[in-house]
Amino acid sequence: MSYKPDTVVKYGPWIQLNQKSLQHIHDIASLGLGTAAGILRLESLWGFALFLGGMTAVNGCIWFLLTEGKPGQYFENPQQLIFLNGLGSGVAGYAMMWCLVSALVD
């Protein structure tokens, strides 16, 4: 049996820990972006454009910087997990912080 340095061994608890860490990053990023939208007093589509652009930038940093372009080593289904799962849960926290900070700034 030969050793291949590119062979990936996935260990279940580490995959789950990576998913939990990714969820924390998405939550913090969405709350931070909501705070920025509230401070900038963005309205309507501009606010959601900030969310989509900011989350795309965060997800790109995760993809290229944290996983060094090899997210399959750290996640089971990286495209869905990194790019799609964070949007659904993050938009609620984003909208909450956006409204709260907008009300406080007024």
* Residue 34 counted as domain residue: no
The residues, ordered by sequence, that sit 6+ positions from 106 with a Cβ below 8 Å of its Cβ are none
CA distance 26 to 50: 15
User: Per-residue pLDDT tens for 26-68?
Assistant: 999 999 999 999 999 999 999 999 999 999 999 999 999 998 9
> Per-residue pLDDT for 85 more than 70?
yes
Residue 100 has pLDDT above 90, yes or no: yes
Nearest residue to 84 via CA among 57, 59, 62, 67 = 59
Is the CA virtual torsion 56, 58, 63, 64 positive or negative? positive
Rounded to two decimals, the pTM is 0.84
Q: Are 38 and 99 contacting, i.e. CB atoms less than 8 angstroms apart?
A: yes
Domain that holds residue 58: 46-106
In a domain, 6, yes or no: no
Does residue 20 sit within a domain? no
